[in-house]
Amino acid sequence: MPFCMIGTRVSHYDIIKSLGAGGMGVVYEAEDTRLGRRVALKFLPPELGQDGPSLERFQREARAASALNHPNICTVHAIEQHDGQHFIVMELLDGESLATRLGRERFELPALFDAAIQIADALESAHAKGIVHRDIKPANVFVNARGQIKILDFGLAKIADQRGGRSFSSGELAGPKGPASDREETRIVAHDLTTPGTAMGTVSYMSPEQARGHLTDARTDLFSTGTLLYQMATGVLPFQGETQAVVFEAILNRDPVAITQINAALPAEFNRILGKALEKDRNLRYQTATDLKTDIVRLKRDLDSGRRSAAEATTAGSGAAKAAGASVAVLYFENLSGVKEDEYFRDGITEDIITELSKIKGLKIFPRASVLAYRDKSVTPQQVGRELHAAYVLGGSLRRAGNRLRITTQLMDATTDFPVWSERYDRELEDVFEVQDEIARKIAEALRITLSPQEREAIATKPTENLQAYDLFLRGKSYARRFTKQDQEFARQTFENATALDPNFALAYAAIANVCAQHYYRHGHDQIWLDRAKAAAEKAAELAPELPEVFVGQAWVMYAAGNQTDAIATVRKALARKADCEGAYFLLGRALFASGRYQEVVDMTDAAIEAAGGDYNIYVPLMNAAGALGKTALLQSLLLRRIQGLEAHLAEVPEDARARTQLAIGYASTGRLEDAKRETNLALVLRPNETTVLYNAACAFCTMKMKPEALDALKKAWESGFRDVEWARRDPDLAMLHGEPEFERLYPESPQ
């Protein structure tokens, strides 16, 4: 019989079209002429039809699946043979495989939970009959047009002897072949169906016991299901690598990146569930599919209940927070002036409103980093609420014209898109602090939160009495974030002008300490810059000793002077007072990495990324530490996220040469060498004498294996002021230069 069978009749089945083919079967759609229904026929390929082991495996799939009757398992109607052709008659499904779906998109939470519950329910039924699938993967999970899950392909299934607890492949059911072993037959290798000690299943979805070729049981399916759900939630696999050997090593030894690092909108409880499913020790893993299903059902119920409660509170007309701790996401206001130069002012006003609202204990306010992704994007309150799990969303617009300021604000219920409170302010520019104060108080009133006298006093406290000084401070912040010498020099001047207008402006003094300490660190160790930084930090501490930003300024002075231990302790004081204090995690990561405390850097990854938002700088110490510890899965995840962040940043700030060099490193690390060369060369054209650009260009050239170019760029970076021996010698991007005479001259190894 020909391999292509379209248009032929086999027994009482008219074959209509091909549905696909795999290593162990060719599938056709056919008409069952006896029962008048459409079915799927799975044929063993002709070249394997006479092969005993292949035929045995083919029949095993049918025998295992036919023993099951469950709405989430593809039904097997019959096993038949016609003119030497062996085939299975199966339920015809309308839809697509999960592999196809995942190639297009990741799952939103409601659909993800529904699918997860169905998969666990199907495995619960199979395991109850002693059948372990052992090859759960996207290609073996089908999603029909109604969103119903169907598990396919029990070709690797293992059937447990219910009487004595032993497990046999279905081919052994006619009679066991000797005593059980701690190894098991696992996959077809050439023509051996039962080759002991070999790995079975699809590598990326294997359990540790499968990777080792050990005995498998129901918990094996639960590990593979955890891998599958991780991919459905994040779009990436938990265990990655360029070769099977690397993937095996990750499955056996590496912890997956927390899903909340990849998608901050995912609930932390789901991360815990996946962590338990992906336990390497199966005695610590979920023991049954029932337990896994129960936890997912409970989480789904709790999330649905939270959304219903928010909706019911609004429907009742209370407009109030359902309990203490009502969550509010403050979106960046729309800049209606049409002048890009005014965006620093818009950003500063929005961030200060976030800070003011954060002083109210009855509110949970999402940090700047969480809402940064929505800046200048067209989004609805419902979308933001769903993705951040926020009960309310504050949006608005700002227009500045001369000395006049118009601010419109609207607080929306994120569940219903119903406005809870709105206001328009037409004021003189000098009234901006009163407007911020009033917005905070009005939101508290709208949510029926009573402010304490201390909270009222904190909200009413102004950063400065001088509006012009405030404007200069906001302008300087927007430049200081770029880290280049030219930008930070401009920022320093604006901060110093702000303190000249208001000698009691603590935030501005702290900002001066930051940029002067960074100038000393990056551009040649001229003592005058460290002295300026120390003086500014001391003045800031004198004016506001408990201000988080003041601690960061002090810590930068310590770090620049080489006092990493005190810098770490001081910046942690800032984070204890303000978890999203700008620049704090970046400095902490650098200081810890330079001290060789790599695990501490990795441990703070989730919190650091959450606090940093769109700040691409945070990834440098995190990636370096992950690489130093050999955490390849975490490193790969951070690399991809960093590339995405840099691409988005450069779309808005194309002149940022430093960002281009970091993007070049990312491109080179993922094999995009031409893109890497383009970005590196463009950065050097934009800022040929910028220290940080030269240093990062050296890293990019090393990643591209261009050693002479790397040494040349690194020498220029050294000449322009980068003299940090500890960082340069620990930086994994420069590892290929170790031992080169020029590198050893510039950054000699410290004597032991």
Residue with tokens 């029949």: 59
Residue with tokens 């079975």: 200
Instruction: Return the CA Rg of the chain.
Output: 31
Residue 446: CB atoms within 10 A of its CB come to 18
- Phi/psi class of residue 98: alpha, beta or left (left: φ > 0; alpha: ψ in -120 to 50)? alpha
Give the C-alpha separation, 738 to 747, whole Å. Answer: 9
Give the C-alpha separation, 317 to 574, whole Å. Answer: 40
Residue with tokens 């015809």: 92
Is residue 670 within 8 A of residue 644, CB to CB? The reply is no
Is residue 637 within 8 A of residue 257, CB to CB? The reply is yes
User: How is residue 130 written in tokens?
Assistant: 């002693």
List the Cα angle 490/661/650 in 5-degree steps: 70
Q: Catalytic residue among 121, 135, 487, 656, which?
A: 135
User: How is residue 110 written in tokens?
Assistant: 């409601």
- Phi/psi class of residue 37: alpha, beta or left (left: φ > 0; alpha: ψ in -120 to 50)? beta
What is the enclosing helix (H) or strand (E) of 743?
helix 741-746
User: How is residue 750 written in tokens?
Assistant: 């410290």
Residue with tokens 């248009």: 7
Q: Which residues pair with 141 in a beta bridge?
A: 151
Is residue 569 within 8 A of residue 587, CB to CB? The reply is no
Q: How far is CA 440 from the centre of its chain?
A: 32
User: How is residue 99 written in tokens?
Assistant: 């592999």
In the three-class reduction of DSSP (H, G, I as helix; E, B as strand; rest coil), residue 706 is classed as coil
Residue with tokens 């050999």: 630
Q: How far is CA 67 from the centre of its chain?
A: 41
Active site residue 135: yes
The string of DSSP codes covering 222-290 is HHHHHHHHHHHHHSS-SS--SSHHHHHHHHHH-PPPPHHHH-TTS-HHHHHHHHHHT-SSTTTS-SSHH
In the three-class reduction of DSSP (H, G, I as helix; E, B as strand; rest coil), residue 590 is classed as helix
Give the C-alpha separation, 584 to 553, whole Å. Answer: 9
Which residues are part of the catalytic machinery? Answer: 135
